[in-house]
């Protein structure tokens, strides 16, 4: 139960960073986000559904490599993220801001959400599945493979829509993956309550 509470929090936080700060500036949040932006650009599919569609297609990979439990958690997490994107996009309004401010804030929030998900052995969906598999096989934090995989998709997205996107997207990924690794590696220790020992007089 505690794991699904954390997955819910991670999905909501991730969706917030995307919907309020990155997507309004056409900045892909990652490989899946880049493909979602392309689907929206080509077919005018809502970003929330396009992101869910791309993430859903990676479930077969998640089931094969990460197991049923992780795949179910991943599906739940990306569904929460997509619903959050829809909610924040339609019901929360943030006045236009400087794009670099949105970039930094959105990337930090995105990295926090993704990091929380990965700590539960749940992918944030899309290319995060591949990054988590590589991280487990190589016993490394997932931030670096996530950056490399997403970077190649950014080149494709930028070549189709606008080359300026690639610079913003790579900076966003660099910032967010640093946060991912920090959250992923942080040690959480349970506080031990001292027990009073009573002596018989």
Query: Residues 76-108: pLDDT tens digits?
Result: 888 898 899 889 988 887 777 889 999 999 999
Structure confidence at residue 199 (pLDDT): 44
Using an 8 Å Cβ cutoff, are 127 and 54 in contact? Answer: no
Mean pLDDT of the 138-165 span: 80
| Planar angle of CA 102, 105, 111, nearest 5 degrees | 125
Q: How confident is the model at residue 11 (pLDDT cuts 50, 70, 90)?
A: very high
Three-state DSSP state, 4: helix
The DSSP element (H or E) to which 108 belongs, if any, is helix 99-119
Task: Note whether residue 44 is domain-resident.
Answer: yes
pLDDT digits (tens, 9 = 90+) for 182-201: 998 887 655 444 434 444 44
Task: Note whether residue 199 is domain-resident.
Answer: no
pTM score, two decimals?
0.74
CA 172 to chain centre: 12
Task: Note whether residue 42 is domain-resident.
Answer: yes
Three-state DSSP state, 106: helix
Task: Note whether residue 201 is domain-resident.
Answer: no
Task: Note whether residue 192 is domain-resident.
Answer: no
Query: CB-side exposure of 117: number of CA atoms within 13 Å?
Result: 37
The DSSP element (H or E) to which 166 belongs, if any, is helix 164-185
Query: What range defines the domain where residue 41 resides?
Result: 2-185
Count of domains forming the chain: 1
Using an 8 Å Cβ cutoff, are 30 and 128 in contact? Answer: yes
**Percent of the chain beyond pLDDT 70?**
89
- 119, pLDDT greater than 80: yes
pLDDT digits (tens, 9 = 90+) for 28-45: 777 887 888 888 888 988
Structure confidence at residue 158 (pLDDT): 79
**DSSP type of residue 142:** S
Q: How confident is the model at residue 62 (pLDDT cuts 50, 70, 90)?
A: low
CA gap 96, 37 in Å, rounded? 20
Task: Note whether residue 95 is domain-resident.
Answer: yes
Task: Note whether residue 123 is domain-resident.
Answer: yes
CA gap 149, 130 in Å, rounded? 8
Structure confidence at residue 188 (pLDDT): 64
pLDDT digits (tens, 9 = 90+) for 42-52: 898 887 788 77
Task: Note whether residue 47 is domain-resident.
Answer: yes
């Amino acid at each position: 139960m505690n794991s699904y509470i954390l997955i819910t929090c991670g999905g909501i936080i991730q969706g917030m960073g995307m919907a309020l700060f990155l997507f309004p500036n056409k900045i892909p949040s990652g490989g899946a986000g880049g493909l979602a932006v392309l689907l929206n650009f080509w077919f005018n599919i809502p970003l929330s559904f396009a992101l869910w569609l791309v993430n859903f297609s990676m479930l077969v990979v998640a089931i094969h490599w990460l197991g049923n439990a992780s795949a179910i958690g991943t599906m739940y997490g990306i569904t929460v993220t997509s619903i959050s994107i829809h909610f924040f996009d339609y019901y929360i309004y943030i006045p236009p801001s400087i794009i670099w401010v949105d970039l930094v804030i959105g990337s930090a929030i995105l990295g926090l959400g993704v990091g929380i998900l990965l700590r539960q052995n749940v992918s944030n969906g899309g290319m995060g599945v591949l990054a988590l598999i590589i991280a487990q096989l190589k016993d490394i934090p997932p931030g670096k493979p996530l950056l490399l995989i997403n970077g190649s998709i950014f080149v494709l997205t930028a070549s189709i829509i606008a080359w300026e996107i690639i610079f913003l997207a790579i900076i966003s990924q660099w910032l967010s993956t640093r946060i991912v690794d920090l959250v992923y590696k942080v040690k959480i220790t349970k506080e031990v309550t001292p027990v009073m020992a009573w002596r018989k007089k």
